[in-house]
Each structure stands twice: as structure tokens, then as C-alpha cells.
Structure 1
Amino acid sequence: MANLLTPETLPSAHPPPEPREEVSAPPVVRSWLMDRLDSLLSESLRRAEPSELIRHRIMVGAACFFSLINVVFVLRSISQGNHPYVALLASIGFLGTLVLARRGRAPIAPAMVLLATLFLGLVLTTFVSRRPTGGDHAVNMLLPVLAVYLVGPRLGLSITLALFVALGLLHPYYRSQVGIDPSTLTLGGLWFSHVFAGISSLGVWALSSLHSTARDAAQATIERTVRELRDSQSKLNSVFESTDDIVVSIDSQARLLTANSAARFIYEHRGGIVLEPGTPLFQHEPPESRKAWDARLVQVLQGQRLRFEQIYEDQQGLLVLDTSVHPIVDEGGQVVGMTIFGRDVTARRQAEARLGEMHRTLVDVSRQAGMAEVATGVLHNVGNTLNSVNISTSLVIDQIRRSRVTSLARVATLLREHLADIPAFFARDPQGQKLPPFLIALSEQLQEEREAMLREMHSLGESVEHINSIVSMQQKHARAAGAVEHVAVPRLIDEALRLHAVSFERLLIHVERDYAEVPPIFVDRHKLLQILINLVSNARHALVASPKKDKRLGIHVRRAPGTGHLHIEVTDNGVGIAPENLGRMFSQGFTTKKMGHGFGLHISALAAAEMKGRLSCSSPGLEQGATFLLELPMQTEVPPDQDAEPS
């Protein structure tokens, strides 16, 4: 599934630690002993917590141990001719302890029977013994220790106090009444040794209680910590399993440690691989995919974090994973493994691809829309100019129709009729006498007609030249977009203004030009002209919608100090922009016009960004005009990857 390294090719961050030798009982012997002790416990006692199970095992183990000691004591008593009544009674108590431990559900009953048996056995043995010093025997110290361990400090104190009274007080008093051999022990020495032994047993109880309290506190802390760890682990597992992302942890030898359900599903669904802890994660990968991971995992084992994207394509379709690899560091700061996260971003990448395609389509449409807008302006201006041409032509035709040239033709006919006697015709004929003044007046009239027709023809020529310049600009604009050209910005602005020249004159819009001395720049002429046309058109609409009579549109060109950018400002004193709309002016589909489509400014902002520029707007408020600022880089030299064309 994932292109990963095999254990053979994956370097290890640190060699595995050498195993330590522990000094303990052989595992077979320890296991056999634990099994024997557990066989003496009931099912409910065997299911206890580990710390309680140890307590139960010690209880039955002590019963067995004292039973063996008691057997030795019985045999010794018989060999010495003494009656083993006390030993037999103790044997019954130890046997009862084992029976209760095997059949009971709670440990308190067998524990109390065991402690009572020990107490009675020690007390009775001490009283019936011929030796007066039995009350201070070292074996008496076992009872407080076992009592505290098995039944707790409180019950253990009661048993210890009873032992102190019986052996430390009553036994010396009893011996003082029945008498003792003064040669072996004085009465004062007897009292001292027994009372001191009783106090020592209380000290043993106190130390055992402290140890038990500390142990219980430590056990409670451990149990609380374990509960917290389990709770934390449960929450972590919940997050670990609920995420749709792939999460896999491996050790330094690329052996799988953990994998969440998303990872298991992906591996099984797409690769037919069942993830098992301890198995090499990358053993099914082809050799070429392992090489791609080699350098990455070496970096991760050195403590670095990596993030990259992987693309897989198989019969199941396309899968794009946003993959990140993080090192796992132990307490000593050494990298002992790594965690691999993989997020399925296939849908996002496909959406981005569709978005990119839509953007390209939008740009193409915008160019077509820009060309259509230019063409509309061209047709509008050409139409207006053709009206002037039509008027001029009509005037010329009318002047020609009303011209006195026909009178000159009649004069020529008259002269042709009197061609033989021209002198007499001019001297004696009344028509001939009127002819010279008529020719003089006709000459003056024809001169006036000539001048009038020349004026109309000059106007007609200007109109045709205007049409020619507009068509020429349209041809420049219609060239393939995307070519970087050496553009004189003021000249291009004038071309954009020329498209609206007739409209500005008709609407009485005064255009103010403020062009600083700026060098030509290398820029996409098509995109820049499209932006300028949109900005000028928007300013014209804002001025038309404004009730103000003094309608002014200003265009300012200057070099921004210290930034290396060219600033083109288009200002108007039209309807302005509401403050709440300033942030949405360049959003697709947003418009404040009744018949607008919210397309022009959005496309202009995209075009500015494509030229590494920026388009912004500002306005003091409604009816206070607006300013659009176009910022472009001052690229005065042709980029190395572009072929510039002169403009």
C-alpha cells in the first residue's frame, strides 16, 4: 500500500539494548510453586487483584509452612514423652485455614482462623512449657507481622495487644505464682524479658503498620495511575480509531507497532494486506518504491519531521495521500521508531483540479468578455463616427446638387452658339454684355462651394482616421493574450479612453489626465488594457448614476517611491461605494449595478494578480466618489523566459 522501506534497507537509529540478566528463581520452579498455592484458593480468591492475590497466596503458604513446623513439633514432643495436645489443636486450626481458603469467597475468615491458631498455639505452648522464658521467643514476632499484613493495622493491633497481655504480663505473673528456679532466672529478669518482648512486638506491629500504610498508599497511587492511564489510553484509542486518517507506528526496524482501523481498511481494501503487529510493514512493496522512502526515513531517524504527498493509482482508482512522518523519541531523547500519518486528499486535489480548470475557463471567458466589451466600444465609436461621415457625405452631396456648376455649363453652351462672332456678342448682344459680371460672381460662388466641400472632406477624413485608429486598437487587443510586450502605459490609457471619447463628450464628463514620466514596462498588454477598460467603464457608470452636474474622471500615473511599483489610479466623483461593500467589490458575482453581472472587477483583480500586481479600491462613502488603484511591478527589462514584442 504505502511505499515504504523493508527492514533490511531501513537503518536503525540505535542498536537494540543488550538483554539484562535478572537474578531470580528458575521460571519453572516459580511457576510450579504459584500453581500449587493457587490450587489451595477458591475461584473467587484467585480472581482477585494481583496485590490481593499475593496476600492470599502468602496466607495459604503460611498455613502450609506452620503445618510442617507443627508436624516437626509433634514428632519432637512424642520423642520426648510429652503430650502433643497443643500441636494437634494447632494442626486442626491450620487445616481449617486451608479449608476456608479453598471454599470461601472472602479472605477474612481463613486469615482470622490462621491468626487465632498462631495466637493460641504460642500462648498455650508458652504456658505449658517447662521453660519460663518461652514468652520472649523470637517466633512470637511473626504474629504481629502476619496480623498487620493479613487483616490490617487495626485488627493487627488488637491481636498484638492480646499477645502482649498474655505473654508480656500474664505469663510472668503465672510463673511468679507457680515458682521458678532462681538459679536459672530471677523474677525481676523474667518480668523484664517478657515485658521487653511484648514492647518489641508492639514495635514490630508499628513498623509493620507503617510499612503497610506506605504500601497501601503506594498501591493506591499505582492503581489510580493505572486507572488514569487506562482512561487516557481509552480516550487516545477513541481518537486513534475515530479519525479517518491513516495512523501507523513502527519501530526503528520498520516492524509494525500499532495501526488504526483506517490504516487496516486501506491496506486490506487496496492491497489485500492484513496488518499484524510485529511484522515488517513494507515487505510487500516493490523495490522502486522502497528507494523513494530510503532518504526520507533516514532523515526521520535523525530526528527530522517530513511531510509530502503520495499519489497511487490502481484498479481501485486514484488515491492521493498527504503523508507526514514523525519520529518517536524515548525518555533519553533517542529515536526508537516513527509514526506515519496519511490523510486522503483525493477529493480535495480533484476539486482543486476542477477549480483550476474553471479558473482557466473563467479567464478565457473574461478575455472573450473583454474583447466583446472592446468590440462593443469599437462598434459604438465607429457607429458614432459613421454618423459624422454620413452627415459630411450628405452635406457634400447636397452642396454638389446645389452647386452653380450647372450655370457654368449654360454659359459654355451660350458661348458655343456665338463662337463665330464672340467680340460682337460681348459688345452688342445684351446677354453677352451680362456674361462677364455673371462669370465673376459665378467664380466667387464656386470658390465658396470649393472651400465648404474641402472642409467637409477634411472632417470626413478625420472621421475615417478615427475609425482606422479604433480598428487598429481592436486589432492589437485581439492578438493572442499572454505575450509580454514593451508597453507605454500612458499611451495604452489613452487608447482605453478613446473607446469612450464620444460618450464622455455627450455626457459632459471631464477627463483629467495626470501622467508622470514613467518608462515603458514589460507587461501583458491584453490584460492591462482589459483592466483599464473595466475601470474606465465602471467610473463612467458611476458618473452617469450620480446627480452631480460637474462629472469628473481622473487618471493618475506615477511611480511608487521605494517599492519599485507603478501606480495607476482611476478616480471619479460619482455615486461612491458604501463602506460595507468595499470588501466585496472584487468578489465574483457581486455588483451594485441594476443590470450588472459582477464579472468585470473580479476578472480585473485576477488579471492583476496574474501580472504579479494588485487591484484595490477605496471610497469615503456614498455620493463621495471612488478610487481604484492598480499596482504593477516596474519591469523595465524583458523577463528571461519571455520574448517581448514592441508596443
Structure 2
Amino acid sequence: MGYLWLTSLLDAFLSDALRKAPPSELHRQRVLIAACLFALPFGVSYLLLVPFTAAEVPTLLLSGCYAATLLLARRARSLTVPAMFMCLSMVVSYVVSIFLSSHPEGGFHASSMLIPAFAVYLLGPRLGLFVTGCLAVCLGLLHPMYRVRFTPGLTAIPLDEFTVMCASAAVSLLGSWVLSTLHSTSRDTAHDALERTLATLRESEGKLSSLIESSDDLVFSLDTQLRVITANTAMRQFYRRMQGQELVPGRRFCFPRTPELQLQWDPRFNRVLAGERLRFEQEEHSEEPLEDPVHVVLDISISPIVGEQGRVMGLTVSARDITARKLAEARLGEMHRSLVDVSRYAGMAEVATGVLHNVGNTLNSVNISAGILNEQLRHSRLSGLRKAATLLGQHSEELESFLATDARGQRLPGYLLALAEELEKEREVLRHEVGALSEGIEHIKSIVVMQQQYARAGGVLERLPVPQLIEEALRLHAGSIERQGIHLVREYADVPPILVDRHNLLQILVNLLSNARHALMESKISDKRLRIRIRLGGGGDQLVIEFSDNGVGIAPEHLARLFSQGFTTKKHGHGFGLHISALAATEMHGRLSCSSTGLGHGATFTLVLPVEGPRENQRPSHSLELS
């Protein structure tokens, strides 16, 4: 800023075309004008201070050339004409002053070395060589010839030595041109490389800017002082809507409407400037009433901008609007809960059918026992006892003679003994049937209790023995398993109780048993077997439950879709059971997998659960394993 007046002054002597030149060309033009403005007052002052003689003629001519150069620069369309005019003027003035001087040694003056350097800088190596060549010929060839022919006695230096010195001066001028050319070439090469680098940088910056601008994400960058470096259009619009003002580059990033957010964000910025990367979700909403109120959920990522030697130069904030995703996740969760309820009701209906069948079978037994009791009571010998008691009552006053002399009295003791034996038999029959009736009622009661436990709401974690739950699930299917002639093989290892949701686990077990039962029911083999195995896995941290049947098996092309929602191979299946079982296993931070070697070779379903239940910081995996 302090030299702005100087550049303005120099540019005033340039034409409009020269002012529009690239920065490097403009710099050379300013050097030309500065040289003229420096030399012209110096020459004029010299002419005014010394008496005018023939020796001052070159100075006068050169001063006029300086002024003419300024006029040419004011009208020229390129630097070549005024620069060539000035360089040749300097050569002519210097040569004339040497030829007219009474001191021939002036040709060796150090100022002559400035002309090649100045010419190469202003005109380039080729035109600079022309100017340097003219000066070298005049000083190295014409000057000694002139001295030998016209003024041989003006110098004390021998002519041979003088000639060699002039030649050396010419060679030195050419050497100055060579050095200036090398410097100019290296400078131009570096300048071209810099221009290419800047062009590449501008291209990359343009691509990056286009990429950022085309994104709907909110993107902005801050320096180490939390001043805004850049921000895309989406961020500027969002900031204007939320904070009521523009996001200005160079100004410190702040929250004028929500100062409490400043207290949250400043520590985050400081952590990122220390080299840490942050990612979090945050809800944003407009504080002041607006025509279009804003309420969004943002997924925010803050990353440091790392420069040389790993030094943090700033930070970049990227925020994505995930409001729609959050709403979709909420709807998906609601759909999942509805699906679980539908599946639960479907499973409950299936279990209820089995329960009704089991209750029906038990009621048949109860009905038979009740019929036997009724038949026994209708044909009971108690009526004979009543007749004997009546007969004794009629002869109570002459009981001794009745028993001794009367034929009926004589048969009465034997009759009572026989009657007692019959009544004892009846009592045993009644006791047996009453016991069977009680067992049937208890069986019905236990079935109803298990159904109530299965149907109750889940979500409560309990430490439960898995074998007991499997037996409960088996009792729900006991009637159909027995009716189909399925042979159960239990292989229960000594495992500890696990922390689990009873409802979820019982639902999985019932579904897996139902699946195995249907597979065996559709199989044509006579020896139907279902093997249930419980063991520990994962170093004792996991409990493994396996259901292996020798039923119809699973086709390889069906394995990949087995746990998909709505997929079923049953004619009247709903496709919910295995899908919901897999989801329930995932909710308990376990996994459900299936393996089968093909149709007709049975299948094995494996349920793996953590012994200690789900951990708070553990996210469930949603992958389902098939093999």
C-alpha cells in the first residue's frame, strides 16, 4: 500500500495497451519508465551545473532520448519499440562519449556492463544480444582502430596492450549478456512453471469449488482464528435463514441469534484445531418466528486442514441434512414394531391352534374319565347296602333271632362281605378316574399358563435357564409332535442361565420348532428325528442352540432368501416366522443362521446368543448367516 502512489505515477506514462499487459510485462515497463525518470533529471541537472562543451553533447542527446522514450511509451502498443530506442540510445551515447573523450580508458568503465543486463531484461536474450553486439563491436574493434589512427598519443598505455584491453572489454560485455540471459531464462522458466502451477491450482480450485457448490451439504472452512475462509451456497443460505445475516469471508464465525450454540461449538473447534476429527448429529431449529421455520437434523463432520509438517492450518465443516432419513428410520421402526406384532399374532394363532388341539385331546380324556365315573355311580352297589340297612332296620328288635332263624338274615352277613369287596373295587376305580381327571385338568391349566407366558409383552430381561424354555416350547407343540411320530433327541450341555428377553427367545424357539415340525411332516421318511443341542461357544461368552431335523431340507437357491420378509416355501405360509426370528435374534445381539446340504437332507438352524445379554455400548449386527 505504501508504494501504490509510485506505481500509479509510473503507470501514468504508459499507454492503455501497456497498462493491460500481464504482471511480469507490466513490471518491466515500469522499470523502463523508472529508469527514464531517474536518468532524465540527473542528465538535465548535470547539463545545468557544468559548462557546456563538446563533451556534454552525448549527455544532451541521451537526455533527449530519455524524454523521447517516455513519449513513445505513452503511445506504444508494446514494450519493444520504446525499450529498443532507449537501449540503442544508451549505446550510441556511451560510444560517442568515449570517442569524444580525451580519456580513452573510459571504454573500460564498469557502467558499460549495465547496458547488456538492461537490454536483456527489457528486450529478451535475442534483441539484447543485438544491443550487446553493437556495443561490443564499437568498444572492442572500432574504438582501438579509431585511437590508433586518429589519437595515438592520448593514452599512456601501449597500443598493443590497449587493443587487448578493448577486446577484453568486448568479451566482458558478451559475458554480461550470457549471465543476464541465463538469469532471464531461469527466471522465465521459473515464471512459466509458477504460471502452470497457478493454472493447475486455479483449475483444481475451480473443480473443487464446483464440486462443493453442486453439493446440497453445508460446507465451510475456517482458519485458526475461526475466521471464515470459504462457504458454499447451501451453507450461506442456511446461515442466513438461521442467523439472519450473511456469512462473510474474513469475519469470525459466530451464532448471533443463538449464543448458547457458540458455547457448544467453540470447544469443538478447539479440539479439531488440536488435530482431532469430530463427527456427531445435532438438531437445528430457528429461534425467532419466521415465515418458513427451520427444523433439521444434521450429520456434522469437522476435520482439520493440515499443512506442511503436520501443522493445522484451519478446519473444514461438512453437514448433511438427515431429517428425511431420521423420519424414515422412525417410520421403519414403527413398521418393524407393527411387523413384529403381526408376526406375534400370527405365531400366537398358530400356537393357539396347537393349544386348542392339546386341550381338546386332554378334554377327551377328561370326558372319558367323567363317563366312567358316571357309569360307575349309576351301577354302584350302594343300593344293595341301602336294602341291607333297611332289612336290618325292620328287624332291629329281633335282630338276633332274625340272623339265626330267618333265611334272609342267615344270608345277610355273607352278602355284606361280598358287598364290601365290590364297593372297595368301585372305590379304586373311582379314585383312579378322579386322579386321571385331575391330571387332565392340570394339563389343561399348564397349557393355558404357557400360552399366557408366550403371549405376554416382551422387553424385560431375565436370567433364565434355556433348557427350561425349550421344554416349554416343546410342550406347546407336544400334541402335534407326538401325533406325527417325531422322535426328539435332546443334547443339553451344562450351561448357565442367560440374561435374555423371555418373549423374544420363546418366540424364536416356537418358530424354529414349528419350522422343523413342518419340514418333518412334509418328509416321506418314517424315522422322523429332531435333534436339539445346547452348548457354549465363543470361549464361554456365547450360548449356541441348534435344531437339526432330517426333513425335506432346503434348496441352495432358497438359502440366500430364507430370512427375507415374506419369503416362504409353504403353501399356506405367511413368510414372517423366520424373518421375525432373525430380527428378534439381532435385537438380543445374537444371530440366527441356517445350513442345509440340499433337498431331502434336512436342515440345521443355529441360534447364537450372548450369555450376559446385550451390552449398552454394543450395536446389533443386522447380518444373517446362511450356509
What TM bracket, shorter-length normalisation? 0.7 to 0.9
Per-residue deviation, residues 574-627 of structure 1 (Å, max 9, x unmatched)? 111233433443332232223222211222223333444433222222211111
Aligned to 1:6: none
Mapped pair 1:475 → 2:452: yes
Aligned to 2:573: 596
Cα separation, 2, equivalents of 1:550 and 1:355: 44
Mapped pair 1:43 → 2:16: yes
Mapped pair 1:34 → 2:7: yes
Aligned to 2:328: 351
Aligned-CA RMSD value: 4.5
AA in 1 matched with 2:517: R
Mapped pair 1:116 → 2:93: no
Mapped pair 1:290 → 2:267: no
Structure 1 contact 404–442 (Cα < 8 Å) conserved: no
2:595 to 609, 614, 618: 618
Structure 1 contact 486–520 (Cα < 8 Å) conserved: yes
* TM-fit CA distance, 1:268: 0.9
* TM-fit CA distance, 1:480: 4.3
* TM-fit CA distance, 1:76: 8.1
Structure 2 contact 55–97 (Cα < 8 Å) conserved: no
AA in 2 matched with 1:275: L
* TM-fit CA distance, 1:358: 2.9
Cα separation, 1, equivalents of 2:69 and 2:478: 117
Q: Secondary structure at the match of 1:562?
A: helix
Cα separation, 2, equivalents of 1:93 and 1:183: 31
* TM-fit CA distance, 1:265: 0.8
TM-score of the superposed pair, with normalisation by structure 2:
0.81
Higher mean alpha-carbon deviation, 448-457 vs 571-580, is at: 448-457
Per-residue deviation, residues 476-519 of structure 1 (Å, max 9, x unmatched)? 33444334456443343233222333322332222223334445
* TM-fit CA distance, 1:325: 3.2
Change (3 A) 1:260 1:137: same
What runs of 5+ residues in structure 2 fail to find an aligned partner?
396-401, 408-415, 617-627
Cα separation, 2, equivalents of 1:47 and 1:176: 51
Cα separation, 2, equivalents of 1:260 and 1:322: 17
Structure 2 contact 305–315 (Cα < 8 Å) conserved: yes
AA in 1 matched with 2:221: S
Structure 2 contact 104–155 (Cα < 8 Å) conserved: no
2:239 to 256, 261, 267: 267
1:548 to 510, 525, 534: 525
Aligned to 1:203: 175
Aligned to 2:622: none
Structure 2 contact 243–255 (Cα < 8 Å) conserved: no
* TM-fit CA distance, 1:456: 7.0
Cα separation, 1, equivalents of 2:114 and 2:345: 103
Mapped pair 1:103 → 2:75: yes
Cα separation, 2, equivalents of 1:503 and 1:223: 86
* TM-fit CA distance, 1:394: 6.6
Cα separation, 1, equivalents of 2:496 and 2:83: 105
Cα separation, 1, equivalents of 2:141 and 2:339: 108
* TM-fit CA distance, 1:40: 1.6
Change (3 A) 1:267 1:521: closer
Q: Secondary structure at the match of 1:238?
A: helix
Q: Secondary structure at the match of 1:254?
A: coil
Cα separation, 2, equivalents of 1:484 and 1:134: 109
Mapped pair 1:247 → 2:219: yes
* TM-fit CA distance, 1:473: 2.1
Change (3 A) 1:475 1:329: closer
TM-score of the superposed pair, with normalisation by structure 1:
0.79
2:339 to 352, 362, 365: 362
Q: Secondary structure at the match of 1:248?
A: strand
* TM-fit CA distance, 1:197: 1.6
Per-residue deviation, residues 526-551 of structure 1 (Å, max 9, x unmatched)? 33322221111000111122222221
Q: Secondary structure at the match of 2:544?
A: strand
Structure 1 contact 41–101 (Cα < 8 Å) conserved: yes
Mapped pair 1:256 → 2:228: yes
Structure 2 contact 461–501 (Cα < 8 Å) conserved: yes
Aligned to 1:384: 361
Aligned to 1:192: 164
Change (3 A) 1:443 1:306: closer
Cα separation, 2, equivalents of 1:633 and 1:383: 39
Aligned to 1:52: 25
Cα separation, 2, equivalents of 1:201 and 1:562: 90
AA in 2 matched with 1:540: R
* TM-fit CA distance, 1:187: 2.2
Greater RCO (Cα-Cα under 8 Å, separation 6 or more): 1
Cα separation, 2, equivalents of 1:486 and 1:251: 55
Aligned to 2:209: 237
Aligned to 2:606: 629
Aligned to 1:151: 123
Change (3 A) 1:408 1:176: same
Cα separation, 1, equivalents of 2:491 and 2:155: 136
1:413-424 to structure 2, matched below 5 A, reads: none
* TM-fit CA distance, 1:38: 1.2
Percentage of pairs with the same residue: 53
Structure 1 contact 132–180 (Cα < 8 Å) conserved: no
* TM-fit CA distance, 1:266: 0.6
Structure 1 contact 258–277 (Cα < 8 Å) conserved: yes
Structure 2 contact 486–530 (Cα < 8 Å) conserved: yes
